[in-house]
Amino acid sequence: MTSVIQQRTSAPPAPAHVHVGSTSGVAESLDRQYWLRGFKLNKKGGLIFEDKDVLKKQQGVVKDVMVQLGAQLLSGKLAVRLSLPIRVFEARSLLERVAEAWSYAPTYLTKAAATSDPIERMKYIMGFVVSGLHCCVNQNKPFNPILGETYEASLSDGTLIFMEHVQHHPPVSAFYLQGPHESYQLHGRYEFESSMSGNSITNFQNGTTTFECALGKVKYELPQLKMGGVVLGERLVEWSGVARFVDSQANLAGTLDFDANDGFLGRSGLTFSLQKRAKGGVHVKIDGSWLSQLRFDGKVVWDVAAVPVHLPVPVVRALPSDCRYREDLIELKAGDFDKAQACKVHLEEVQRHDKKLREAKSKHRKK
């Protein structure tokens, strides 16, 4: 078995939720808050997912996997070819979903690059991060990227997005954003990890993201997305943990605590240590929610109902490795579940075969 990259002559299909105007070229969501469809607010914080169709599709997944495991035990191929059923997937790669969290870049990163005040820059970066969190709660599973899979897109202000899946296990994807007129760069690598405990799953995007412009640099780490009721009970979705921000050059450090105040950001607020301007540092009070608003000292920096969304527009002529050329994704988008499942299993087998080749080559080099 060999894996090959096939040259494509036609453009890959665009995401179904993106509409590109024929004159402006600006992507607009067909439903302004389509990320939150099927959810309702949880009085205790976060969201409750209640889309019965999606939840029904996810029922019995554990049983399906156990049936596969039983068949492999009988055939002597234990746990080698387990594959999740296609019905739990959405017709997108994980790369596409990650990119949607950057839909507010034209609003915040452009301002962060233009200001000479490091405190204001930190605020804009924090606003950018929080504004993208509600874009990542979809309960349909995206396709896991294949090693070497890529994704290219742009935003309405000319920001360019480049992504590539660079490591198979643990899964790692690299990304690079270039602002309009090269005004800024946003880059990093995410290692994707999931941890299951009882009836809940916590998803991690581990890694440091770096924002750079001519006037400064800010590095940050993301919080974790926690889902409860994955087997029994209500499906609860909430961001947890702490997001950390650092501007070493300006001696600034900030935190956003998502475990305080039932999902609000506010236990410790945002504390700056800026020795050149004030003894003892500068303290800025933060409050709000990743579902509605983010406020600094009472001033609204982000409002989900007011700040415009700039969805990524995929490039028309993509590399042959672009995720939208994947056969399983295309068949699922076309509604052929049987073909999509067969293509998905085939691609998984190709990945395993390629992994064996890499391991064999590595062992040979060590001799």
Complete DSSP assignment for 120-185: HHHHHHHHHHHHTGGGG---SEEEPPPTT-EEEEE-TTS-EEEEEEEETTTTEEEEEEE-GGG-EE
29 pLDDT tier (thresholds 50, 70, 90) = very low
58 pLDDT tier (thresholds 50, 70, 90) = confident
More confident residue, 266 or 166: 166
Total-model pTM: 0.84
Note the pLDDT of residue 3.
Answer: 46
pLDDT in tens, 33-53: 677 888 888 887 889 999 888
Note the pLDDT of residue 140.
Answer: 87
pLDDT in tens, 170-207: 899 999 999 999 999 999 999 999 888 888 889 999 99
Calculate what percentage of the chain has a pLDDT beyond 90.
46
Note the pLDDT of residue 108.
Answer: 97
**Residues ≥6 apart with Cβ < 8 Å to 185:** 176, 177, 178, 179, 210, 211, 212, 213
The least confident of 148-152, 172-176, 248-252 is 248-252
In the predicted structure, residue 337 carries a pLDDT above the cut 90: yes
Note the pLDDT of residue 51.
Answer: 87
Closest-CA residue to 171 (of 139, 212, 203): 203
pLDDT in tens, 299-312: 999 998 888 889 99
62 pLDDT tier (thresholds 50, 70, 90) = low
Note the pLDDT of residue 279.
Answer: 52
Mean pLDDT confidence for 312-337: 94
In the predicted structure, residue 79 carries a pLDDT above the cut 50: no
More confident residue, 357 or 180: 180
63 pLDDT tier (thresholds 50, 70, 90) = low
Mean pLDDT confidence for 109-135: 95
The DSSP annotation for 50-67 comes to: --HHHHHHHTTHHHHHHH
CA–CA distance, 3 with 8 (Å, rounded to integer): 15
Whether a cis peptide bond, with omega within 30° of 0, leads into 170 is yes
22 pLDDT tier (thresholds 50, 70, 90) = very low
